[in-house]
Each structure stands twice: as structure tokens, then as C-alpha cells.
Structure 1
Amino acid sequence: MPLGQMIWRKSSYSGQSGSCVEVALVPEVVAVRDTKDRDGAVLMFPRRQWAAFLSGLRDRR
């Protein structure tokens, strides 16, 4: 899917500082970009790897 067609979401926990990331869920991957640099680099993670990352964050609480 072309980057321009992705639907980007920002966490509801993000404040107004702009220091956050946005994610787009596309088939088989999760795309991540810096909110302040929307035309910059986009990181792509396999969905399984992203799920493990989120699980690790939850376990730290």
C-alpha cells in the first residue's frame, strides 16, 4: 500500500507537544512515523514483532 493511502493514528495518550509517533496498520505490517516529520522516514514492523513490542511495554507497568 502506498504511504499516501495509509490511515495514520496517534495515541490517545499523546499530548499536544508533538513529541509522539503515529502508526498505520496495513496488511502484514505496522508502519510507524514521527508526528513532527510526516514526510520523513517510515519504519515497518511485522505485526507479530509489533505485538511483542506492545506486550513488552504493558509488562513494564
Structure 2
Amino acid sequence: YKVLGITRYFGYAVVFFALDAFAWVILTAAMSINFNLETISIVTVYVAVVLVGIGYFLTELKKLVR
């Protein structure tokens, strides 16, 4: 059953990174238009969400390997 779990998390990773790439395209387009406090806060929240997602994925992957 570990193979099924690994496949599932690999699928999550593929979807996550595809959404991440799309969101970065949107964010860089928005940042090129204007650079103010609102843009900085949006980027900060986004980076925090991405880091939490990566941390969760690595934690679950570490549990799966054990």
C-alpha cells in the first residue's frame, strides 16, 4: 500500500507545482504594473501559503517513508 500512498502524494505535488507556476505568472504580472504595500502583502501571504504547503508535503512524505 505504500506505493499507492507515494503515487497519491506525487499527484498532489504535480498539481501543487502546476498551480504554483500559474500563480507566479499572475503575481509577476501584477507586480510589474504597480509595487505598493498591498502587492507586498499579497506576495507575502502567498509565499507563506506555499511554504506551509511544501512543509506539509515533506512532513507527510517523511512519515510515508518510515
TM (normalized to structure 1)? Answer: 0.32
- RCO greater where, 1 or 2, for CA within 8 Å and sep 6 or more? 2
Q: Which has the larger radius of gyration?
A: 2
If each structure's helix is expressed as a fraction of its own residues, which one has the higher value?
Answer: 2
